[in-house]
Chains A and B, each alone.
Chain A
Amino acid sequence: MTHLAKTIIWILIAVLGASAVGGIALNRGESINALWFITAAVCVYSLAYRFYAAWIAARVLVVDETRATPAERLNNGHDFLPTNKWIVFGHHFAAIAGPGPLVGPTLAAQFGYLPGTLWLLFGAVLGGCVQDMVTLFLSTRRDAKSLGQMARDELGALGGSAALLATFAIMVILIAVLGLVVVNAMKHSPWATFTVAATIPIAMIVGVYMRHLRPGQVLEASALGVALLLLSVAGGGWLDDQPSLRGGFDHEGLTLAWWVMAYGFAAAILPVWLLLAPRDYLSTYMKLGTITLLAVAILFLMPEVKMPALTQFIDGTGPIFGGKLFPFVFITIACGAISGFHALISSGTTPKLLSNERDIRMIGYGGMLLESMVAMMAMIAATVLDPGVFFAINSAAGAVGADPATAVATISAWGYPVTVEQMQTLAQQMGEATLFARTGGAPSLAVGMASIFGSAFGDGLLAMWYHFAIMFEAIFILTTLDAGTRVGRFMLQDMLGNIWPKMGETSWTPSVIVSSAMVVSAWGYFLYIGVIDPNGGVNILWPLFGIANQMLAAIALSVATGILIKSDKLNKAWVTGLPLVWLIIITSTAAWEKLTSSDVRIGFFAAANDLSSKLAAGSLPVEKAKIAPQLIFNLHLDAYLTLFFVVLLWLIVLDMLRVAVRHVMGKPVLPLTETPHSPSLLEAEWVRD
């Protein structure tokens, strides 16, 4: 193609993208077609990938395709192994895309579709993708070292310890909030509970098959597993109609929470091949399959988005979580826009497979673009619902009233009409007893997905689609839960090993049991509080997770900015510096509001004081008075945790600035730890066949 033709095509893409973004932003009609969102995303992402990412790769990082990567230099046939770039992309994407990009946008939809959509588009191309790509590059140049190791080597001991602590803290909060999402999806739903429970023996069957019956036949075993999963969705429907059996799967949230904790503990101590590895296979296939299906359905059906662009809840009075649009939309949507967790995959794991530096743009930047696209589809699935229905599903009883009549009255009074009959019909269609106050995002996403799938592939199977969607979300939430508990256990064993070396032995049974129990109790505590909290728990836990995740992103961007400045690229350090400044602003503001706000739905201390005074005055109902002391303690704990996160963040940023200023003034700093250049001997054709 001639240069001119290419230029014209890119100009057309730019015009189309600008019109789509403009159309989304300025539309004030009754509804807007979802195709606009997809168009805007595809155009913005392509432009960013073609120009911004290419510029960063060529001019800021200066990737060098003649340079041997760690995979080539340290090739040992297993850990370090030059791999085809599409295969690396597949592994990288499967590793970074978890349930986060599905839950965050669903919750943030309470502000209307616009804020979340814009943050997904621009947060990803200017922040998240840059973080992932730069971290991947830096780790590739440093023998595939982890983020924590790079922080220690380049900034000092503080950065390294902070990264470790932040990772552990995120893991605990993340597992708790994801556990809560699953519990809320299973609460009093025998169908969902049976299907989710069935994933455990199914994973074990697949595990035994792969390990013992037909060793190494991964695809065969996975196909069997996927078939059994689909069967379990149908089986749940059958079970739901059997009065004698359904009682066994009809439970309160708290009972389910105990089961989730018991499961987490078992998964952390059982061998990986039995549960974790096969479950991971199944969840990866389900994830890729369902997301592709959703994309096809959206393109085919072109549903109308019914949520307004902005709702009145941008003033901070939202029923799903309290807090103003700024900064809380940026905290609520982490995964999909910028997620610090990705820095852990981009450093350490992926660089060991990378065969050539020129693929860093595609894998680092491109992988995150795809995740952002997934988040965009979750946003569409949440906003195609009638706003009244969306709020009825997602608002906790504490926010809108416990009985259906009060809830619909409250929500209709906000200007989002919904009736009890409408909710009952919907619940019946979905095969559920009720859809009121099913907080956490999973049920409303499942209703959205079921209605999209139902309209695209036939309306008769709505209940089946709904429970398929629940199973799909639950299976990889549980995978994150198992994997996270296990990683947390290893980290804890490592830390305890410094005090008592015997504890550091990862296969010493007493150490395994004690450290697993400690990790499970840590997240189990937050899960327990989240379940008993009448305001739904998600209201507290999700912002806490967002703050922690953004803090980890800030650590990764600090490391990157520090290294860029040390490499005498001060004039280009804004590439990571600007997203870093933005993260510092939003994280600090959010933390400040969480600590000092006098609104009981936002401020931790305000809520604690309010509860204490009501308890003292005896104005609480008996049930609430019983749990009040626990809730008060928890609110204080959350407040100190937030304070701890934000102090840690500032320490790292100041430490990075100290290093940067010293370098600019010509004073000695820790030397760059980049591995010297050695020429790549790999034939390009050989790796890319």
Chain B
Amino acid sequence: MRKRLKRVWQGIRQLSGDDAYERYLQHHAAHHQHEGSAPLSKAEFFKRWQDRLWSGIKRCC
């Protein structure tokens, strides 16, 4: 039961983008570590993430 609740909570966080930075850090560690570049700060990442999310048609009637 607790495990299931935790998964629902994770789903909510992922849907809303609440954990986007954590996922970005994981992605960065997995794919871009060797390039030697430091990951973006949370504020900087969130700025880019939000601006990108809002290009194109995102909402309907």
Contacts and interface: CB of A to CB of B under 8 A. Distances in A.
Nearest to A90: B15
A174 B61 contact: yes
A78 B55 CA distance: 13
Interface stretch (A208-216, A433-441, A674-682): A208-216
A277 interface: yes
Q: Give the dominant DSSP class at A's interface.
A: helix
Contacts of B17: 218
Interface string B33-61: 00000000011011101111111111111
Interface stretch (A342-350, A395-403, A584-592): A342-350
Contact of B60 (A79, A211, A342): A342
B50 A272 contact: yes
A666 B47 CA distance: 53
B59 A211 contact: no
Contact of A96 (B24, B56, B60): B60
A551 B25 CA distance: 44
Contact of A280 (B46, B55, B59): B59
Nearest to B46: A216
Q: Give the dominant DSSP class at B's interface.
A: helix
B60 A98 contact: yes
Contacts of B46: 210-211, 215-216
Contacts of A349: 56-58
A99 interface: yes
Given A87-B11, A215-B42, A276-B54, A97 B16 contact: no
Nearest to A212: B43
A84 interface: yes
A78 B49 contact: yes
A217 interface: yes
B52 A341 contact: no
Interface string A333-372: 0110001011011001100000000000000000000000
Contacts of A484: 59
B49 to A, nearest CB: 7
A99 B14 contact: no
Residue of B47, B53, B61 contacting most chain A CB atoms (<10 Å)? B61
A277 B57 CA distance: 13
Contacts of B20: 216, 218
Contacts of B47: 211, 215, 273
Contacts of A216: 18, 20-21, 42-43, 45-46, 49
Nearest to A343: B60
A339 B61 contact: yes
Given A273-B51, A277-B53, A341 B60 contact: yes
A281 interface: yes
Interface in B1-36: 11-18, 20-21, 24, 27, 31
A480 B43 CA distance: 27
Contacts of B43: 212, 215-216
Interface string A196-238: 0000000000000011100111110010000000000000000
Interface in A303-343: 334-335, 339, 341-342
Interface in A456-505: 479-480, 483-484, 486-487, 490
Interface in A53-101: 77-79, 84, 86-87, 90-91, 95-100
A135 interface: no
A344 B49 contact: no
B23 to A, nearest CB: 9
Nearest to B53: A277
Given A272-B51, A277-B50, A219 B61 contact: no
Nearest to B49: A78
Contacts of A99: 61
A163 B13 CA distance: 35
Nearest to B16: A218
Contacts of A98: 59-61
Contact of B18 (A91, A167, A217): A217
Given A272-B54, A273-B50, A87 B15 contact: yes
Given A216-B21, A219-B18, A349-B56, A480 B61 contact: yes
Contact of B59 (A87, A348, A479): A479
Given A216-B45, A272-B50, A273-B51, A348 B14 contact: no
A496 B16 CA distance: 35
B49 A341 contact: no
Given A216-B21, A277-B54, A95 B60 contact: yes
Interface string A153-196: 00000000000000100000010001000000000000000000
Contacts of A215: 42-43, 46-47
27 contacts: A78-B52, A84-B11, A86-B11, A87-B14, A95-B59, A96-B60, A97-B60, A98-B60, A178-B61, A211-B47, A212-B43, A215-B42, A215-B46, A215-B47, A216-B21, A216-B49, A218-B17, A219-B13, A222-B16, A272-B51, A273-B51, A280-B59, A281-B16, A335-B60, A345-B58, A349-B57, A484-B59
Interface of B: 11-18, 20-21, 24, 27, 31, 42-43, 45-47, 49-61
Given A84-B14, A276-B54, 6 more contacts: A87-B11, A99-B61, A215-B42, A219-B16, A335-B60, A486-B54
Which 10 interchain pairs have the tightest Cβ spacing? A100-B61, A215-B43, A216-B46, A483-B59, A272-B54, A218-B18, A219-B18, A90-B15, A341-B60, A98-B61
Interface of A: 77-79, 84, 86-87, 90-91, 95-100, 167, 174, 178, 210-212, 215-219, 222, 272-273, 276-277, 280-281, 334-335, 339, 341-342, 344-345, 348-349, 479-480, 483-484, 486-487, 490, 549
